[in-house]
Amino acid sequence: MNEKPVNVLFLCTHNSARSIIAEAVLNHIGRGRFRAFSAGSSPRENQQPHSFAFQVLTSAGVSIDGLYSKSWAEFGRPDSPKMDLVITVCDNAAGEVCPFWPGQPATAHWGYADPSEVDGTDEQKLDAFRRTMHEIKRRLDSLVSLPADRLQKLTLQQTARDLSKML
């Protein structure tokens, strides 16, 4: 495999929980083979990543440095990093018309329940964020363990879509 990392963009509606978690975890476990980014289709004005997302990531030893909520428009510009794979992690973003991505990356949908919608105590909410992080990490562990030939453009899309069927 060449030295260039596989660029992966995780999309969600607000870019405050699931996509932020996926970006941080993949950058943590990607071993330099992957470079992760995240964005939202419609982050709210002054949107910030959810504090519970940051709390579970930090507790797991995953860096939150540089993470912030941003629009997916940032990745459609000519000077943006070229993505190899774009993964939606919430059903709302999966159903939206995505912008044109330079380079026509592979795409997949990995749906996860929104942990920020859980009602209950703070501990119950934190537990929902922990479960979501572990579900995301399980798929990402499989992605990073793939041999180089499964990460080539022609097979990357099918491989990522197959991983969506993981329980």
- Set 22, 89, 90, 156: catalytic member: 90
User: CA-to-CA distance for 28 and 8, rounded, in angstroms?
Assistant: 13
Of 100, 89, 95, 109, whose CA–CA distance to 157 is shortest? Answer: 109
Q: How many CA atoms lie within 13 A of 134 on its CB side?
A: 8
Of 125, 115, 108, whose CA–CA distance to 160 is shortest? Answer: 108
- Set 29, 60, 64, 98: catalytic member: 98
Tokens in use for 165?
């069927």
3-state DSSP assignment of residue 137: helix
Place of tokens 């995505």: 98
Distance of alpha carbon 118 from the chain centroid: 20
98 in catalytic set: yes
Q: What is the CA radius of gyration of the chain?
A: 15
User: CA-to-CA distance for 126 and 163, rounded, in angstroms?
Assistant: 25
- Set 12, 86, 93, 128: catalytic member: 12
90 in catalytic set: yes
Q: Report the catalytic residues.
A: 12, 90, 98
